[in-house]
Structure 1
Amino acid sequence: MSTKKGALHRLLGGASQALGNLVGGALTLALVLRPNRAGSERARKNADVLIAACRAFQAKHGRLPDTLEQLVPDFLPDLPPAKFAGPHFGFTYDVDAEATRHVLGWTDVMPFGRPYYVFEEDRWGYLD
């Protein structure tokens, strides 16, 4: 009987340790991979600032800017940051060849997850 008790104790101890490892791993992943909510909110507010500046540019010049840099310094003191820094993750501003479509976007969740705003349609979208 004591042999059965010892085996059961070892089995339960191993299961408890495995469960602890599983929970610990899940918490670690949640902390590492969780979205940065404050950064996302800041990026959205900065996108609103850029949209307002583009609309002010449009009101003054009768067209949207070709680049975001055209907003500085007349409409903005400098370009606000997106959620992440860097040439591939900051704000993007795409204009088609005929300048009939202007799209502002940024990376919200790496490596994908990109909100965007289409000026001509006055609408938000989400890519990926």
Structure 2
Amino acid sequence: MSSARRHSRRRIAIVAVLVTVGAGVYMAFPGLGFFSGTRLPREARPLTPQRQREDSEIRARSILAAIRAYKNRHGKLPVALASLVPQFLPEIPSPLTSTMPFQYVVNPDGQSFIVKWEAYPNSMYQRFWIDQDGKNYADL
């Protein structure tokens, strides 16, 4: 067998061993691999317009939960979002999609409400809101 052919087979064998060892390490410690399927924590991901909308909705839902807790304790809706601090929320969160704060509107019946916020993705104005039942609405 020629020398070049032996070197070629030796290289193939070395590559096969390295791939096998790498696969074993990957299987034993899946979080170490580049293609591990694990995602970065939400806070470490880039703030794309989609993520800003999602995070703003999460923040609005935290306000919704605090309003429900307030109503359960006091038997009525709060007059303003400031009534939720500090007992139900440490502070009133702000939407990531706008410099405007969340708006809280109680309907005239005194039993239903909405939490709304604005977004300005790509220079387009959009409004979003969540009602007391947790349903989402958008004015696109």
Q: TM-score, normalised by structure 2?
A: 0.56
Give the Cα–Cα distance (whole angstroms) in 2 for the partners of residues 101 and 48 of structure 1.
Answer: 15
The counterpart of 1:101, out of the listed 106, 112, 120, is 112
| 5+ long unaligned stretches in structure 2 | 1-47
Q: Which residue is 2:33 aligned to?
A: none
1:124 and 2:133 correspond = no
1:38 and 2:89 correspond = no
1:63 and 2:83 correspond = no
Give the Cα–Cα distance (whole angstroms) in 1 for the partners of residues 70 and 59 of structure 2.
Answer: 16
2:138 alignment partner AA:
Y
Between the aligned residues of both structures, percent identity stands at: 25
Q: TM-score, normalised by structure 1?
A: 0.61
Aligned-residue CA RMSD (Å): 2.0
1:50 and 2:63 correspond = yes
How much does 1:94 deviate? 0.9
How much does 1:127 deviate? 2.0
- 2:119 is paired with a residue of what secondary structure? coil
